Homo-oligomer: A and B are copies of this chain.
């Protein structure tokens, strides 16, 4: 087992709600010998991948890791385009918007745009959500073939309902969730792909359920769809299907 894999595993610990790590925490989470964990963290510190918080034994990602997220966004033209489109919709309607991508059965936000309304959904970037339980996730799953989804969710309790839900997303041209992940919060999501790089991202708007009626929702779907359609057109995403009006 390469030390890179171990270092990677340590970094991944930060992914799930874990703001900092100690030697023993690493031992518990990854089940490696204590001596090993100690030396691993030291090596990662020396390399700048980790830094200690103050003078304690708690570790967090090194500060240069901050730049990586930015580099990731820059590396993908699709993400930039999607970000611009979402920002526009977010500013028009005052609600918070996201750009997300799927990683296995989870989705992560790669960019967020805070709404301007007094009552708005506070963005929670970096939080991973189950793909099948969010509008964003379903919009992305709906872009996969049914067989691929079946393989991905083999043995998963959600495997039964999923095909029908995704079929609806494909038919509507957008994914919708009402108070599903968070009480009082609705979400609209539309996915676009870049045939050149095989990437797929989801454009998503989240808003307080009580603040938007059916008409407002249609307007936002239309605005989001327009942005997505422009991107699909630019990149040649022929599989993109705009919502029916």
- A interface residues (Cβ-Cβ under 8 A, vs B): 2-5, 7-8, 11-12, 14-15, 18-20, 43-44, 46-49, 53-55, 60-61, 63-76, 87, 91, 101, 103, 108, 110, 113-114, 116, 125-128, 196-199
Q: Are A54's CB and B4's CB within 8 A? A: no
The 9 closest A-B pairs by CB, nearest first: A70-B126, A14-B71, A54-B197, A8-B47, A60-B75, A69-B69, A19-B75, A15-B67, A4-B47
The residue in A14, A53, A67, A75 that gathers the most chain B C-beta atoms within 10 A of its C-beta is: A67
- CA–CA, A76 to B66, complex, Å? 13
The interface residues of chain B lying within 8 Å CB-to-CB of A5 are 46-47
Minimum distance in angstroms from A38 CB to a CB of chain B:
15
Minimum distance in angstroms from A229 CB to a CB of chain B:
22
Q: Choose among B46, B72, B198 the residue that contacts A65 (Cβ–Cβ < 8 A).
A: B72
Q: Are A11's CB and B126's CB within 8 A? A: no
- CA–CA, A240 to B238, complex, Å? 57
- CA–CA, A194 to B42, complex, Å? 25
The interface residues of chain B lying within 8 Å CB-to-CB of A2 are 3, 43, 46-47
How many copies, total?
A: 2
Which secondary structure dominates where chain A touches chain B?
A: mixed
Q: Are A63's CB and B103's CB within 8 A? A: yes
* Interchain Cβ contacts under 8 Å between A and B, 15 examples: A7-B7, A11-B68, A12-B64, A14-B67, A14-B71, A15-B71, A61-B68, A63-B72, A63-B101, A63-B108, A65-B69, A65-B72, A66-B108, A70-B127, A114-B114
The interface residues of chain B lying within 8 Å CB-to-CB of A61 are 68-69, 71-72, 75
Minimum distance in angstroms from A66 CB to a CB of chain B:
5
Q: Are B47's CB and A7's CB within 8 A? A: yes
The residue in A2, A14, A20, A128 that gathers the most chain B C-beta atoms within 10 A of its C-beta is: A14
